[in-house]
Amino acid sequence: MFEVKTIALFMITAVAEIVGCYLPYLWLKQDKSVWLLLPAAMSLALFAWLLSLHPTAAGRVYAAYGGVYVFVALLWLWLVDGIRPTTWDMIGALVALTGMAIIMFAPRTV
């Protein structure tokens, strides 16, 4: 159960980070409203708070989170940008998720 909660929290965290970066991108590159910066800032604040909810050492959380971020970013590419990830994208995401699982769920003697 710990593993499912951890992965779900990582995924929600990744969405908050991506939204927080995507909205300024829309403003800067696609001439959208400057008001998008307000929800972007709130999303990035949510992202930082969500990272603080993990019960393990911050460095380990940040390292493992990167693997989930890669996976969620590819989902974003597909669902929001409308670009289907390649087989190589998916293999890379699986490698990243495997690394996350090793970092987060390996037995510890501490």
Q: How many domains does the chain have?
A: 1
Give the mean model confidence (pLDDT) for residues 71-85.
96
Q: Which domain holds residue 54?
A: 2-105
Confidence at residue 110, expressed as pLDDT on a 0 to 100 scale: 62
Instruction: Answer yes or no: is pLDDT of 82 > 80.
Output: yes
Q: Which residues have C-beta within 8 Å of that of residue 83, sequence separation ≥ 6? A: 77
3-state SS track over 13-29: HHHHHHHHHHHHHHHHH
Instruction: Using only the alpha carbons of the chain, give its radius of gyration.
Output: 15
Confidence at residue 56, expressed as pLDDT on a 0 to 100 scale: 72
Q: Indicate yes or no: pTM above 0.85.
A: no
Residue 36 belongs to a domain:
yes
Residue 110 belongs to a domain:
no
pLDDT tens-place string over residues 24-67: 999 999 999 999 999 999 999 999 999 888 777 678 888 888 99
| Beta-carbon-side half-sphere exposure of residue 88 (alpha carbons within 13 Å) | 0
Report the percentage of the chain scoring pLDDT > 70: 98
Residue 33 belongs to a domain:
yes
21 exposed, middle or buried (CB, 10 Å; 0-12, 13-18, 19+)? Answer: middle
Confidence at residue 72, expressed as pLDDT on a 0 to 100 scale: 94
Element (DSSP H or E) covering residue 92? helix 87-105
Instruction: Answer yes or no: is pLDDT of 83 > 90.
Output: yes
